[in-house]
């Protein structure tokens, strides 16, 4: 009770600033940061989960503007179809041009409050956002993937020079809490724990410094990342079903190049999961 009184006093004197619109607001004290019940993280709709985990950082109005990826969408690349009716199916582009990525999924569209929070994490050093965004990503993982078919999880790496400049790899930070979430969700009971998916943040490396993909066209993006990645221990991914983790899926050039490197190194399949997609 005393702690709640202190929080009420704190929020009345020092209200939070919305990371999307910049206005001051009073956070929902019934859902403090990091206290969202885990059963809600796993089972609720993505838009509900976004609202719950981002309540401390967004005003109620902005939190409601989140745009989740919804059906119908392509069963391969995950791009939503313009029509809002019908079942999920493979798009014409994926039928004609086979992608190296087995499946691509994202939590939401790269706009509004989701985009603001990703930018705040990456470019404004708001590292405390990694935990709620990581939980949003994990709930998307549980929604879109059969966990028994994923052997190996890898974040898309940064070059050492960019890592030193930024101080962290946002893709790594997004999955830092996943081992705990996996245990809390009891997913190990569903499959043989001896072959359960392994999270590895070091086996895939960016061996060549590349330009920022921001502002580059599709062909320039492909050229920019060509030959930029390498696997340090091929034995660990040989025959494995790999899941790549990143913050944003734009043209897919980076993930395609990572997938090419992983499959050439022995991976059985490569799928992708991101917080957002740009289309």
Question: Over the stretch 134-156, which tens digit does the pLDDT of each residue have?
Answer: 999 999 999 999 888 899 999 99
253 CB-side CA count, 13 A: 19
Using the predicted structure, report yes or no on whether residue 2 has a pLDDT greater than 50. Answer: no
Query: What count of other Cβ atoms lies within 10 Å of the Cβ of residue 209?
Result: 11
Compute the average pLDDT of residues 241-259: 95
Give residue 192's pLDDT: 46
Is residue 22 a part of any domain in this protein? Answer: yes
Least confident of 32-36, 87-91, 148-152, 272-276: 32-36
Domain that includes residue 30, residue range? 15-81+89-277
Q: How confident is the model at residue 254 (pLDDT cuts 50, 70, 90)?
A: very high
CA-closest candidate to residue 277, choices 51, 48, 105, 82: 105
The answer to whether residue 154 is domain-embedded is yes
Q: Which of 58-62, 219-223, 236-240 has the lowest mean pLDDT?
A: 219-223
Token pair, residue 105, equals 């999924």
> How confident is the model at residue 156, as a pLDDT?
97
- The answer to whether the CB of 52 falls within 8 A of the CB of 27 is no
The structural domain count of the chain equals 1
C-alpha span between 270 and 121 (Å, rounded): 26
> According to the model, what pLDDT value does residue 12 have?
52
pTM over 0.85: yes
Is residue 139 included in any domain, yes or no? yes
Residue 87: what pLDDT? 94
Spatial separation of the C-alpha atoms in residues 211 and 91, rounded to whole Å: 30
- Closest by CA to 64, choosing from 76, 80, 52, is 52
* Burial class of residue 163 (count of CB atoms within 10 Å of its CB; 0-12, 13-18, 19+): middle
pLDDT value of residue 5: 46
**Higher-confidence position of 157 and 36:** 157
Q: Rounded to 5 degrees, what angle do the CA atoms 212, 215, 218 make?
A: 95
Q: What would the mean pLDDT of 80-100 be, rounded to a whole number?
A: 91
Instruction: Provide the 8-state DSSP code for 159.
Output: P
pLDDT of residue 229: 96
Confidence category of residue 40, pLDDT binned at 50, 70, 90: low
Tell me if 246 is assigned to some domain.
Answer: yes
Confidence category of residue 27, pLDDT binned at 50, 70, 90:
confident
Q: Is the dihedral of CA 138, 144, 150, 153 positive or negative?
A: negative
Q: At 42, is the pLDDT very low, low, confident or very high (cuts 50, 70, 90)?
A: low
Residue 152: what are its φ and ψ, rounded to 5°?
-145, 130
Asked if pLDDT for residue 88 goes beyond 70, the answer is yes
- H-helix or E-strand spanning residue 155: strand 152-155
Report the SS3 class of residue 80.
strand
**What pLDDT, on a 0 to 100 scale, did the predictor assign at position 212?**
76
**175-224 pLDDT, tens per residue?**
999 998 887 776 544 444 444 679 999 999 999 987 777 767 778 888 88
Of all residues in the chain, the percent with pLDDT exceeding 90 is: 68
* Residue with the larger pLDDT of the pair 32 and 276: 276
The predicted model gives 71-84 an average pLDDT of 94
pLDDT computed for residue 13 by the predictor: 56
Rounded to an integer, the average pLDDT of 228-255 is 96
Mean pLDDT of the region 94-98 = 88
Residue 2 in domain: no
Q: Is residue 7 part of a domain?
A: no
């Amino acid at each position: 009770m005393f702690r709640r009184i202190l929080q009420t006093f704190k929020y009345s004197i020092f209200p939070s600033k919305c990371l999307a619109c910049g206005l001051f607001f009073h956070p929902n004290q019934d859902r403090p940061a990091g206290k969202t019940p885990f059963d809600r993280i796993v089972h609720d709709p993505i838009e509900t989960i976004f609202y719950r985990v981002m309540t401390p950082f967004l005003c109620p109005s902005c939190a409601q503007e989140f745009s989740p990826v919804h059906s119908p969408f392509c069963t391969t690349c995950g791009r939503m179809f313009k029509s809002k009716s019908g079942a999920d199916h493979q798009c014409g582009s994926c039928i004609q041009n086979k992608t190296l990525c087995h499946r691509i999924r994202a939590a939401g569209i790269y706009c509004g409050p989701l985009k603001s929070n990703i930018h705040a994490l990456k470019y404004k050093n708001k590292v405390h956002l990694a935990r709620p965004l990581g939980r949003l990503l994990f709930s998307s993982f549980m929604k879109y993937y059969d966990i028994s078919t994923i052997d190996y999880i890898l974040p898309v790496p940064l070059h050492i020079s960019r890592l030193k400049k930024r101080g962290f790899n946002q893709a790594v930070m997004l999955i830092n809490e996943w081992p705990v979430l996996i245990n809390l969700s009891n997913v190990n009971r569903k499959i043989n724990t001896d072959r359960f998916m392994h999270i590895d943040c070091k086996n895939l490396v960016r061996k060549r410094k590349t330009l920022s993909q921001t502002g580059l066209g599709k062909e320039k993006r492909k050229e920019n990342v060509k030959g930029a990645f390498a696997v340090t221990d091929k034995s660990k991914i040989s025959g494995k079903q790999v899941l790549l983790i990143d913050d944003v899926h734009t043209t897919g050039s980076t993930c395609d190049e990572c997938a090419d490197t992983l499959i050439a190194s022995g991976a059985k399949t490569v799928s992708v999961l991101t917080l957002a997609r740009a289309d």
